[in-house]
Every structure is written in C-alpha cells, then in structure tokens.
Amino acid sequence: MSHFAKVDQGKVIQVIVAEQDFIDSFVDTIPGEWIQTSYNTHGGVHYTDGATSDNQTKSLRYNYATAGGNYDRDADAFYDNQPFSSWTLNTETYVWEAPTPQPTDGSSNWNEETQSWDAVE
C-alpha cells in the first residue's frame, strides 16, 4: 500500500492509503490531483525502522504530506504550515527552522515573544 495526498491549488486536502491501481481508476469529481507521498520521508531523507535507509530512492517529495499542509509543485515538495512567523522554510529540506537551533539537552518549547527556547520542566 502507498499513501496519496489530494492536492488543490498547493494545499493538501486529504491523505489516503491506497494502491496505485485504485488511484489510476478512481473517478474523482472533487478538484485537485492525487500525488504519492512517503510516510517514511522527512527532510528529504527516507527512514526505515527509525534509521536512515540505505535506499534513498524511496525518499519522496521531501516530507510526508499532511491534511492542511502545502505542496510546492516547482520543488515537488510537501511541507507543513509555518509554525511561527519568525521561522523560515529551509528549501533544501522543506522543514521550518527556528531563528536559533533547539537545545538538545532536555525538552524545550519555542517562545515567539522572546524568540528563544524555554525549558520544559
């Protein structure tokens, strides 16, 4: 089984699990097109069992599509909505990045007001 995203005007409307044959023969009256997405792809890297896959040819469209997310046809990339106005989209991975990297020691949440990471206790 594969995953397919219904995309209309750059927005992901729906994501389903289906066989390619179903997509090819499906009579769909709702505007948009079905585009395959990979559940195991993030930031342009394909993963198998949580580790980087030896077969990167399975990496599809940078990220797994999510309903309400975006699709850039020119880049052939799925990406989420901007989480905070200060974050920028990395066009090499199509993942949003904070102005400063998230600390790796402990858990933290982004604070848009202070433009910093707050430790979670």
By percentage, how much of the chain surpasses pLDDT 70? 100
Reported residue count of the chain is 121
CA dist 91 and 63 (Å) reads 12
Question: What's the average model confidence in pLDDT over 38-45?
Answer: 95
Q: What is the pLDDT of residue 106?
A: 85
For residue 18, name the pLDDT band (cuts at 50, 70, 90): very high
Q: Is the per-residue pLDDT at 66 higher than 90?
A: yes
Q: pLDDT by residue (tens digit) across 101-113?
A: 999 998 999 999 9
Question: What's the average model confidence in pLDDT over 12-41?
Answer: 95
Question: What's the average model confidence in pLDDT over 14-37?
Answer: 95
Q: Is the per-residue pLDDT at 121 higher than 90?
A: no
What tokens appear for 88 in the block?
Answer: 């920028």
Q: What is the pLDDT of residue 1?
A: 84
Cβ atoms of 74 and 91 within 8 Å: the answer is: no
Judged by average pLDDT, the poorest of 55-59, 78-82, 87-91, 96-100 is 55-59
DSSP state of 80: P
Other Cβ atoms less than 10 A from the Cβ of 80: the count is 17
What tokens appear for 95 in the block?
Answer: 């993942």
